[in-house]
Amino acid sequence: MTTKHSTIQIPSIVNTKILSKWKMLLSICVFILIINYTIPNMLVQAGWMDPSHYTGYIHHYSEVLERYGANYHSARIAFLYPARLTTLIFGSKLGYIVLRNILLFAAAFSIWKLSERFYKSTIIASFITCLFIFHPWFLRPLFWNHPSGFAIVYALLSLLFFINPPIQNTKLAYYISGAFWLFTANCQPFPAAILGSCILAWVIVQIKWSHERFEAKHVISFISGVIFTELFLMAIRFIEFPHLSPLIDTPAIKMIGVITTTKLGRMDNFAQIVESGELEVFVPFFFLTIFCIYVFKSRKSSNLKFFSATALLISFTFYIFCYLIFDRNFLGCFYYFSYLIIPSFFIFIYLIGDSIDHTNQNKFILFGFILYATVWFTAPFLRETQAISPIASLILAAVLIALVSLALQLNLNTAKAALIITMISLSPLMFYNNKMWSYYSYLLDPQRAHLEWDVYHATVELQKTLFELVPKKTEKIGFWFSKDSGNRYLYSIQNAFLGNQSRLFSPYDDGAGMPVIDSKFTTDVNSFSYIALLGITENEIEDGLKALGDNGIPTKIIKKRYIESKTAPFYLLLLRYLGTHRDLEIKPNQSEN
């Protein structure tokens, strides 16, 4: 009888697991389809420097690398190689979109499985996953040509294989976790430190409080994954560029050293945030506050509570340290703030899972879905009407924190669950009230989408044209255009050629730009075999050409081309520089004075 009973039950368990997997896959696919068909803009990078650099590498990696040398950006191959592959297979725009959907799926899968690790509930996992992949905190760093979004996804995959591996082979799981940590570090060192904080927190919890056994061999497998993946990336790089140094991350290490030794001491960034209304930076503060209140009142112990508290404490301390040492506000505010989503979402998992543990889960999760969907679909209209104000957001957050505290004090489980879900579901609104920085709200702007893709295609077209005209990779191209050009996106387009490394004038106050021949021009021009003149009118091009002739700078016209674009059209004149390596004299009428 026992044998017969067992043979009946096993298929039932297997069928349940298969059904659960299909529910997960179907839910994730539905979420991703909704994002694709409802988000107005999936590309936000026009006007930024770094994503233009990466766009140049994605479309013409070897051409840019051979001409201008290896640097910090060219070393992000864990981001660049997948982007190059999808671009090669699907083309420029479709390749970009396909890769983002792959990343969305990987992130959603990781969050779902991590949620199931702590709460064996499909409905909780589905809500947490929805909350994550629809959140502007995650979408913004994903929707541009920058390694930040990749770093977040790689970090989630590393945590998944470390905490709740989806495969049976434990040794291989820790090895894969180490590999994804290395990919994260290659994309950006800061999220690798955040990921390391989370892994350290999990190891501490497993050793100190968990009944599960954590063995030293797991750490060895993890470190082996890191080492062998680094060797793998070095081998790939060496096969393609055998003459380059195999030490891929040397430029990143040098850059970190320069930043930390020359940009210390700015302690006024918080004041700037308050003045400019960049309230999204305070999101971790609000959830850290509510978490502390909740944990203080809750006597229930759990691995997730200890883990999320330890991970966020270590990560947040490290974030504050880095935030205060970088003197440029956008570096401290945007780039590094994005990575705090990783430990913060474990707080979200804990708050949501624990608050509805003794309530009707279906009812509260349904309420959360409806509220979150309302925020998603009404955010564009709220943005247009400017109904989301910094003061209103602060007041709402303070009221919700006070109400949650009251519900905890009075042991009102229903009110507690409803308020926590409300607070988390409304958190995206804090990313759309930004006065000074519009890069989150640009996700909601359909007009911006047309501009973004227009500038993107103009950038790709300029690269394609010039590299066809100058096929020899050892010949560098210098760029010259008016500093005050009417096309404000010329800087962004030209940044595909690494900005100042190929620009014949300084973009700052001391640089005049075309048609003025200044000291930077005469110093740098001998480094280039070709000069590309850019201008929004033919007169600008003619003025630049005349200035070169008046100053005795020998050139030969190679090609004149009009780069068509609805929002960023411009003329290109490619010249062969015929000068020698000597100092050019600046004539009085064309001097920088």
Chain segment 404-455, per-residue pLDDT in tens: 777 777 777 788 888 888 888 888 887 776 554 457 888 888 888 899 999 9
3 state SS of 568 = coil
Q: Which residues pair with 563 in a beta bridge?
A: 570
Are 186 and 249 within 8 A, CB to CB? Answer: yes
Q: How far apart, in Å, are the Cα atoms of 39 and each of 33, 109, 170, 380?
A: 10, 20, 39, 9
Q: Which residues pair with 110 in a beta bridge?
A: none
pLDDT of residue 255: 63
pLDDT of residue 580: 66
pLDDT of the chain along its 593 residues, tens only?
A: 444 444 444 455 556 667 778 888 999 999 999 999 999 899 999 888 899 999 999 999 999 999 998 888 898 999 999 999 999 999 999 999 999 999 999 999 999 999 988 888 888 899 999 999 999 989 999 999 999 999 999 999 999 999 999 998 999 999 999 999 999 999 988 888 889 888 888 888 877 766 666 677 888 999 999 999 999 988 888 888 888 776 666 666 666 665 555 554 444 555 555 555 555 666 766 777 777 777 666 656 667 777 777 777 777 777 766 666 654 444 444 566 778 888 888 888 888 888 786 666 778 888 989 999 998 998 887 777 666 666 667 777 778 778 877 777 777 778 888 888 888 888 888 777 655 445 788 888 888 889 999 999 999 999 999 999 998 888 999 999 987 765 678 888 999 999 888 998 876 656 678 888 887 888 889 999 999 999 988 999 999 999 999 888 999 999 999 998 888 889 999 999 998 644 444 444 443 33
Helices 50-59, 446-469: crossing angle, 10 deg rounding: 50
| Cα torsion angle, 142, 147, 148, 154, sign | positive
Q: How far apart are CA 334 and CA 329, in angstroms?
A: 8
pLDDT of residue 337: 73
pLDDT of residue 315: 75
What end-to-end distance do the CA atoms of the chain give, in Å?
Answer: 100
Give every strand in the sheet of 570-577, ordered side by side: 477-481, 530-535, 570-577, 555-563
Express each pLDDT in 24-49 by its tens digit.
Answer: 899 999 999 999 999 989 999 988 88
Q: Structural domain boundaries of the chain?
A: 70-444, 447-590
Determine if the peptide bond prior to 515 is cis (ω within 30°): yes
Residue 411 φ/ψ region, left for φ over 0, alpha for ψ in the -120 to 50 degree band, beta for the rest: left
Are 65 and 74 within 8 A, CB to CB? Answer: yes
pLDDT of residue 593: 34
pLDDT of residue 572: 95
Are 161 and 171 within 8 A, CB to CB? Answer: no
Query: What CA dihedral angle connects 514, 52, 459 and 555, to 10 degrees?
Result: 40
- CA nearest to 344, candidates 296, 290, 385, 297: 290
Query: What residues contact residue 369 under an 8 Å CB cut-off, 6+ apart?
Result: 127, 130
pLDDT of residue 369: 93
